[in-house]
Structure 1
Amino acid sequence: MTEDSSNTPAPAPAPANEAAAGIEPIRLPTIEEVRGQDIWNNCAVRSVASGVMGGGLGMAMGLFLGALDNPIHQEQMTGRQLFVYTAKQMGGRSWHSCKAFAVMGLIFSAAECVVEKARAKHDITNSAIAGCVTGGAISAKTGGPKGACLGCAGFAAFSVAIEKFLDRHE
């Protein structure tokens, strides 16, 4: 017999190029993935989704902060009166925060999407411009032109700081 009877498996042939061994083939997206990306790239869809998510975040924050409000005459209130007072505070604060965060998310997302499509770039400048538009729009109602300028500068700086912190753009 000329065969080796040692029962050891033969070593697998090594790939010709070691670097090519770790490369995976390119996978094309399915039609459903492409349609989903097309829907999400629509500025109106993105803005409404951001407004809804902002409203949800605002409602949660309002509930939390409303629960922390203490009435002035707490020692004179019964348990039931304290519960009713706290529930009203939580409801009012959550609705106010819900509206504010929804508007803020909608304006910021719409402005960022429009600027991104107009500039055909995805960078930190888009966030700064969207922050300026958002801060200016929110502050203009109560502060006039001076408030709009300060809101623009403040929200743009905050947007840039968040982008730098999250390191989304290089």
Structure 2
Amino acid sequence: AERPWVCKPIMAAPPPSGTGEPAPPPPPLQYSVLLQHLVGDKRQPRVWDPATLGGIPCPPKSEEQKMVERVMESCPFKAALACVGGFVLGGAFGIFTAGIDTNVGFDPKDPYRTPTAKEVLKDMGQRGISYAKNFAIVGAMFSCTECMVESYRGKSDWKNSVISGCITGGAIGFRAGLKAGVIGCGGFAAFSAAVDYYLR
């Protein structure tokens, strides 16, 4: 008697025998043709329209706009802008330091005489003008040197600030001697590197 719980092996059905010829294999993919359409000569240029990406379409720049951009990116304009900014910053710094200095307006020949408000304001103005001139010269030298170094190297990185800071500090310090020039070069280079690292 057969046992119902005994599993019997199931034989796979033989494949149907066809009388026709086997199907031909698919043609191989020609990668050279595919590459020509992707990165080769047959690649179609794609025009990016900001309007399709959700942005605001911008019209092409006119010749006047291009000329203004060239002027603003030139070294003389950057030097002049840094000179004006340095003059304003130096004047404000000079007036601030004169305001907290207790010896402003005092006459060394008569130290016991109390200076008048006019003398104090005159001394503050002179110190502000002196600081403004120095800051303007340093700013113009640094900006012009950095622009020239960047144009020569063709790169915009922290090395431009370090090189221009060293040149500016060395040029200012060499008036007091070789040692002062070396110290000025190293000090300005370190300060420029720190400011560039903080701003970037």
TM-score by length of 1: 0.76
Partner of 2:70: 38
Q: SS of the counterpart of 1:22?
A: coil
- 1:30 is displaced (CA, Å) by 3.5
Segments of structure 2 that go 5 or more residues without pairing to the other structure are 1-51
* Counterpart residue type for residue 101 of structure 2: D
Mapped to 2, the partners of 1:114 and 1:95 lie a distance apart of 28
Match for residue 149 of structure 1 among 182, 185, 196: 182
Partner of 2:151: 117
64-73 or 86-95: which moved more? 64-73
Please give the per-residue CA displacement for 1:18-76, whole angstroms capped at 9, x wherever unaligned: xx653554543343331111001221221122112211111111122222222368885
Q: Which structure has the highest helix share of the two?
A: 1
* Counterpart residue type for residue 160 of structure 2: N
Identical counterparts, % of pairs: 35
- 1:124 is displaced (CA, Å) by 0.7
Q: 1:74, 1:82 within 8 Å by CA — same for their partners in 2?
A: no
Mapped to 2, the partners of 1:41 and 1:93 lie a distance apart of 33
Structure scoring higher RCO (CA < 8 A, sep ≥ 6) equals 1
Match for residue 88 of structure 1 among 114, 122, 125: 122
66-75 or 97-106: which moved more? 66-75
Segments of structure 1 that go 5 or more residues without pairing to the other structure are 1-19
- 1:136 is displaced (CA, Å) by 0.7
Partner of 1:53: 85
Match for residue 102 of structure 2 among 59, 67, 70: 70
Deviant stretches of 4+, over 2 Å? 20-33, 71-76
Q: 1:67, 1:89 within 8 Å by CA — same for their partners in 2?
A: no
Q: SS of the counterpart of 2:116?
A: helix
- CA RMSD, aligned part only? 2.0
